[in-house]
């Protein structure tokens, strides 16, 4: 339904960030399979019982993306004449990363049973992010 360039325009992520996210998701899917199947429960019982270990690929890609966004933000600010655009891009990436990271952290806590939050509260950062994404969708030009 969407071309890659259209997704980049809508979500405000570069192709490289999308690629990193996909790689992280693939690794996460594999570790989640191991966790559910209990494959390594005998070999690494402590690691496999902790949900933060299972979610570590996703946290790792968040760190990678944050580093990438900082570098791109600084370069855009220094090289570009349009400082406002650079700041906008940096702010959007920050919102995106922070909200996603909060969601993952809350989900880990919930799955570990360390918090009494309901799932609707755990998903609240995603709902906030969806609102921001809707605003970006409304800002897209009608000619494309």
Partner 1 sequence: MTLAHRALFTWFIVLVFLILLCLRLDPRTTWNWFVTFTPLWFFDCILIIYVIIKFIRKWRNLNRLADLLLLYKWNIAGVLLTITSQVMICLTLEYPQQIPIYFTMTPLCLLLTTAIVYVGSRLGKREGWLI
Per CB under 8 A, residues contacting partner 1 are: 1-2, 4, 6, 9-10, 14-16, 18-19, 22-23, 25-26, 29-30, 32-33, 36-37, 72, 75-76, 118-120, 123, 126-127, 130, 133-134, 136-138, 140-144
Provide the 3-class DSSP secondary structure of residue 86: helix
Nearer residue to partner 1 within complex by CB, 46 or 143: 143
Measured CA to CA, the distance from residue 65 to residue 144 in angstroms comes to 28
Nearest-approach distance from CB 138 to partner 1, in angstroms: 7
Q: Tokens in use for 45?
A: 């019982």
Nearest-approach distance from CB 118 to partner 1, in angstroms: 5
Q: Exposed, middle or buried, 79 (CB in 10 Å: 0-12/13-18/19+)?
A: exposed
């Amino acid at each position: 339904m969407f071309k890659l360039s259209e997704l980049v325009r809508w979500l405000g992520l570069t192709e490289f960030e999308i690629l990193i996210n996909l790689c992280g998701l693939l690794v996460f899917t594999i570790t989640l399979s191991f966790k559910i199947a209990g494959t390594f429960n005998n070999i690494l019982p402590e690691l496999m019982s902790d949900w933060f270990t299972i979610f570590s690929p996703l946290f790792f890609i968040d760190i990678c993306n944050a580093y990438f966004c900082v570098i791109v933000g600084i370069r855009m600010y220094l090289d570009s004449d349009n400082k406002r655009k650079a700041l906008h891009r940096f702010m959007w990436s920050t919102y995106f990363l922070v909200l996603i990271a909060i969601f993952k952290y809350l989900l880990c806590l919930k799955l570990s049973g360390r918090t009494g939050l309901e799932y609707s509260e755990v998903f609240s950062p995603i709902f906030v992010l969806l609102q921001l994404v809707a605003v970006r969708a409304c800002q897209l030009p009608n000619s494309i």
